[in-house]
Amino acid sequence: MNALKPVTAATLLRARQCDEKTVWLTAYDAVSASIAEAAGAEVLLVGDSIGMVCLGFDSTLPVTLDHMIHHTAAVVRGRKHAWVVCDLPFGTYQQSPEQAFASSVRVLQETGCDAVKIEGGEHMAATIRFLAERGIAVVAHIGLTPQSVKKFGSYGKRGKDYAERTQLLKDAEAVSSAGAVSLVLENIPADLAAEITGAVDIPTVGIGAGISCNAQVLVWNDLLGISESNPPFAPAYARVRDIMTNAISRWVADVKSGRFPE
């Protein structure tokens, strides 16, 4: 992938066709966007995970469209060529295709981002088709869908039994035929993710879904070790929380002892 050319949905499809892995990372502001892009991330996902990792909520349910627009606009200002995807938050698309369209229009017009992401499979296919037919790039998200945590009761793995596997396969095929441009697979068995990746024509993006997906995504705070704890499928590549705490506490000590300013 040519890192200097703007990434598009077509770029991601071509990468899949050439067996080239694509890297997605969440970003929530202009600083995280520019660092992630400089480090090689091709897609910046403004996830509604922001509710839990930045805004102090205990689930993604309280996140609003205004929150997402505020942060996505900042990410767009911080990127140069990455493809920026904004999560539509809970309650802003499930009611009807028209509601999803109105929310997507606000997001696209007020932020300048490239695509919206919605959670749900077969039951969201009509909405995805409605948006796709109106020119909107839609990323679908199945498997563990955090906006449904109250229904499922946990953030545990999905697709563990035959019935759930069969439904997830149907979900993947339904959203792909409805016109989704990419498909996030969260916290499902690796062999099921491999089967889904083989069954659909669009790029799959795994998080806790094994190595066969066409792309991988992680949450910024998890990857960098800023979160207090990570989901089991999200390794920390650094301990940035410790680095920040150490720097601030050394400065606090210097102020208290009169060593700062010199």
Measuring CA to CA, how many Å separate 183 from each of 64, 130, 145, 159, 229? 23, 17, 12, 16, 26
Q: Which residue's Cβ has the minimum distance to ligand KIV? A: 47
Instruction: Please select the residue that binds ligand KIV; options are 184, 188, 192, 196, rule is CB under 6 A.
Output: 184
Interior angle at CA 119, CA 160 and CA 216, nearest 5: 70
| Close Cβ partners of 138 (under 8 Å, ≥ 6 residues apart) | 104, 115, 116, 117, 118, 128, 131, 132, 179, 180, 181
Stretch that binds ligand KIV, among 2-10, 42-50, 158-166, 196-204 (CB under 6 A): 42-50
Q: How far is the CB of 47 from ligand KIV (least distance, A)?
A: 2
| Cβ 184 to ligand KIV shortest distance, Å | 5
Which stretch, 34-42, 45-53, 121-129, 253-261, contacts ligand KIV (CB under 6 A)?
45-53
Q: Residue 241, Cβ neighbours under 10 Å: how many?
A: 15
What is the C-alpha separation between 108 and 1, in angstroms, rounded? 25
Q: Using CA atoms, how far apart are residues 97 and 94, in angstroms rounded to an integer?
A: 8
Is the CB of 45 or the CB of 84 nearer to ligand KIV? Answer: 45
Size of the site for ligand KIV (CB under 6 A): 12
Region near ligand KIV per CB under 6 A, out of 28-36, 46-54, 73-81, 93-101? 46-54
Does position 47 bind ligand KIV by CB under 6 A?
yes
Question: Cα(189)–Cα(162) distance, rounded to whole angstroms?
Answer: 12
The residues that bridge with 125 in the sheet, in sequence order, are none
CB 174 within 8 A of CB 168: no
Query: Which residues participate in catalysis according to the annotation?
Result: 186
- Is residue 207 within the footprint of ligand KIV (CB under 6 A)? yes
49 interacts with ligand KIV by CB under 6 A: yes
11, 12, 22, 26: residue in contact with ligand KIV (rule CB under 6 A) = 26
152 vs 251, beta carbon nearer ligand KIV: 152
CB 122 within 8 A of CB 176: no
Buried b (16+ CB within 10 A) or exposed e, 22-35: bbbbbbbbbebbbe
Chain positions 210 to 229 lying near ligand KIV, rule: CB under 6 A, are 217, 219
Cβ proximity to ligand KIV: between 90 and 130 the closer is 90
Does 208 participate in binding ligand KIV (rule CB under 6 A)?
no
Q: Considering only 43-51, 73-81, 92-100, 251-259, which stretch makes contact with ligand KIV by CB under 6 A? A: 43-51
- Contact residues for ligand KIV (CB under 6 A)? 26, 45, 47-49, 87, 141, 184, 186, 207, 217, 219
